[in-house]
Amino acid sequence: MVSKEVIVKNSTGLHARPATLLVKKASAFKSDISLEFNGKKANVKSLIGVLSLGVTKDANVTVTASGDDETLAVEEIVKLIASLEE
């Protein structure tokens, strides 16, 4: 299991468009990937799950993955979250 923290820079947080990009990226990996925010955890491959976390701008979130490609999955998801700026 690999996990890493990242700060959400997007002005709207992880709402519809950025959450969709995140789910699309996560779905390309075999590993189970989750996002943790404010004590709540959601599957990154689930759009409803990601949206239900209510992640806002400047939020500190933890990306965790476990599986065959866990290291790459965490790196790619963290990179995507960090690059989402509007």
Mean pLDDT of 7-36: 96
End-to-end CA distance of the chain: 31
Mean pLDDT of 53-77: 97
Does this model's pTM top 0.85? My answer is: yes
What confidence score (pLDDT) does residue 75 get?
98
Calculate what percentage of the chain has a pLDDT beyond 70: 99
What one-character-per-residue DSSP string does 43-62 give?
ETT-HHHHHHT---TT-EEE
Q: Is the pLDDT of residue 86 over 90?
A: no
Domains of the chain: 2-83 (3.30.1340.10)
Give 72-82 pLDDT, tens digit per residue: 999 999 999 99
Nearest to 16 by CA among 63, 48, 43, 39: 48
* Residues known to be catalytic: 15
What confidence score (pLDDT) does residue 85 get?
77
